[in-house]
Structure 1
Amino acid sequence: MKPVFISKTRKPFVNITLLAGDIGAIKTNLALIRFNRDSFSVLNQQGFHTKDFASIHEMLQAFSQGTERPEVISLGVAGPVQNDKVVLTNVHWEIDAAHLSQLWDNTPVFLLNDIEAMAFGLGTLKPEDIHTIYMGNEGGQGNMAVLSPEAGLGEAGLFWDGESHYPFATEGGHCDFAPRTPLDVEFYTYLQKKFSHVSWERVISEAGIYAIFQFLRDKKEREEPAWLAEKLLVHNPAEVIGEYATACSICNETMEHFFRYLAYESANIALKLKATGGIFLGGSLLRQNSHLVDKHVFHRNFCSSGRLHAFLEAIPIHVLANDKLALLGAAYYATHVAVPDPTGHLATL
């Protein structure tokens, strides 16, 4: 059973080929997808390093060589979309939907936030796409929230109107980090000296994992083995720390704090959105490190918000295992929310 059903507020296309994208600051995934009535088929998918390209147009051209030309382009992008334009938060790219459409012979182009796209993707979930941390109240309805820590921390909500869910983007990952323990206060001070403003994204992200590690090593004098130091110099630090969390004390402690902070911020968004329908945790960091999550500890930290403990205790918490969710969500948006207007062009609700 799908955890959410997003109503088809307009009659969807019967048959269409579209180019969907999940555009991140570090990695980008593109896919040519065929939609036929109520199912999506991925015809071609390819991953790219975002900074290898000067623009999204250049990347789309590289992907599309030798493939069927899309009838629609729909892109989930890591940044705040306003008036069909976006400047990606952690990479110097500007994307203008109207200009990109002109470069593609007036092919309709749609932009939405990448975590908003992930939220739309919940409408395509299969049972095997979900790993449950805590079941919560069975049959619970209401608003939902999606959090996805990767290069940054993305957050989105789904508003429940009593019948259907409607995804919306937020920039909640840039809200202030709130320390709770004496160690957290030390960590906050450590980060504030580096960045001035300390957001949750500084803590719950790939860079956040390494920041926790550096704090434990440099300020709390945890031992860093020589072999680990060598690996950190040549590989992605967050990946290395996660990989060796079960074999190395400082890596294990780092990941314990990372998941503690993730539980805290998951509770924050649950309270702010009254997300009684569930919390969904996505992104590659969670998929790669889900085996490190102690479900009981995570849920205890999630519920430790004072007088609202009982409210939080009823909320389901899930990890999203499908690595194509943002792509499928961008496709869902294009086929169910972006619809033909009377002139035959595409419009959005």
Structure 2
Amino acid sequence: MGGTKTELALFHIKKGKLFAIKNQRYATTDHDSFVEAIRHFHDDKSSLIDCACLGVAGTVEGDIVRGVNFAWEIDAKKLESDLNIKRVLLINDLQANAYGLSALGDSDFEILAEGEKNEGNAVVISPGTGLGEAGMFWDGAYYHPYATEGGHCNFAPTNEQDVELWKFLKDKFDHVSCWERLISGKGILNIYEFLRKHNVEKEPDWLTEQLKNDHSAKVISAAAIEKKDPVCIETMQLFFKYLAIESSELALKTKATGGIYIGGGIVPKNISLIEKQEFYNNFINVGRMKHLLKTTPIKIVLNDRTALMGAAYYAAMGILDQ
């Protein structure tokens, strides 16, 4: 569950494999609480749920998680009681994404850089409503996904334009903080507003009208894909530049020679806007560590059910642990 959508599914395990019985996707804001959402999804009292795993876009603290970009607070122990579920497990949504990667095949990925087939740590970075990041520690035999809040690390300017953008964000927010201010849906809008403010050309009337009716990143990206507005095109170019830079920094911090997996809802829908060589150049532009990043595979995750499958897998492990 994230700031934009919540996807629920009911699975059963047969001969060691997971099979979906039903699933449904909701706009998160359609419901005031998770309890309301799940009761709308599953009200069959005869079907007892042995274990539920919730992958949530927020920081999990013990048995409680609060959404970062939505208002829900979820208490696992209270849910067990309120919904008559034997066990409720909470993990970060990007951790669920990381677990779900093992369920994917070659067709579920778009390759940005082949790299080398190295063993080693890997990471997931997912721009969506916010910016999620997770690590996967390689112990020599298996991957162990873990959550991070790396998307809230500080944005560091690298040239004069970045400095001006930083100043723009500083005036707009109490805490510029983070890469999330740039590498997310809201980040695309922030970049666009900055570029439009510094552009001599007036915003086209048709774009003003569209943004008035739907003030979202998809208006900007659609205009860029259709090559209808140069500022929208430049916005998406900067978005992918910053995504490449932060992916690079995340790879260095975790020594992610095993691969970079780019998930989330934005990138798969805008692959046609990615200039692969430009992205790669920004990714490996790290001075003395360039040789390390040249070996790192970069893949875009195309399957939008990855986190759902990861949460189901984690719940299945929870059943085995009982």
TM normalised by structure 1 equals 0.88
**Residue of structure 2 aligned with 1:194, choices 148, 172, 193:** 172
- Counterpart for residue 3 of structure 1: none
Instruction: Please state how far the C-alpha of 1:219 moved relative to its aligned partner.
Output: 2.7
Q: CA deviation at 1:106?
A: 4.0
Partner of 2:209: 230
CA contact (8 A) 1:216 1:222 kept: no
Deviation of 1:236 after TM superposition, in Å, equals: 4.6
- Which residue is 1:44 aligned to? 22
Aligned equivalent of 1:296: 277
Question: For residue 171 of structure 1, what is the amino acid of its counterpart?
Answer: E
Hey, what's the Cα distance between the residues in 2 that align with 1:24 and 1:161?
30
One-letter amino acid of the counterpart of residue 241, structure 1: I
Structure 1 residue 194: Cα displacement:
1.1
CA distance in 1, matches of 2:206, 2:134: 39
- Counterparts in 2 of 1:156-235, with a 5 A limit? 156-198=134-176, 199-235=178-214
1:84·1:111 contact (CA, 8 Å) conserved in 2?
Answer: yes
Consecutive aligned runs of 4 or more in structure 1 exceeding 3 Å deviation = 65-69, 220-223
Are 1:59 and 2:34 an aligned pair?
no
Unaligned runs of 5+ in 2: none
Deviations 1:90-133 (Å, cap 9, x if unpaired)? Answer: 22211110110011224211110000000000111111111110
Moved more, 303-312 or 144-153: 303-312
CA contact (8 A) 1:223 1:250 kept: no
Select the residue among 282, 293, 314 that pairs with 2:263.
282
Q: CA deviation at 1:195?
A: 1.0
Quick check: 46-55 or 276-285, which moved more? 46-55
**CA pair 181-42 structure 1, distance change in 2 beyond 3 A:** same
Give, in whole Å, the separation in 1 of the partners of 2:184 and 2:16.
34
Shift of 1:37: 3.2
2:243 pairs with 262, 267, 272, which one?
262
**2: CA distance, partners of 1:222 / 1:256:** 18
Which residue of 2 is the match for residue 125 of structure 1?
104
Mapped partners of 2:48, 2:70: distance in 1: 27
Looking at structure 2, the residues matched to 218 and 206 of structure 1 have their Cα atoms a distance apart, in angstroms, of 19
Q: Secondary structure at the match of 1:107?
A: coil
Aligned-residue sequence identity (percent) comes to 43
**Distance in 1 separating the partners of 2:248 and 2:199:** 27
- The question of whether the paired residues in 2 share the 8 Å contact of 1:72 and 1:334 is answered with yes
Name the aligned partner's letter for residue 294 of structure 2. E
The equivalences for 1:304-323 within 5 A come to 304-323=285-304
Equivalent in the alignment of 1:30: 8
Q: Match of 2:121?
A: 143
Question: How many matched pairs?
Answer: 318
Is the 2:121–2:135 Cα contact (8 Å) retained in structure 1?
Answer: yes
What is the distance in 2 between the residues matched to 1:106 and 1:129?
32
Tell me the CA shift for residue 330 of structure 1.
0.2
Structure 1 counterpart SS, 2:155: coil
Q: What is the match of residue 130 of structure 2? A: 152
Cα displacement string for residues 193-226 of structure 1 (whole angstroms, at most 9, x for unaligned residues): 1113221000100000000000011133454211
For residues 110 and 313 of structure 1, what CA distance do their matches in structure 2 show?
38
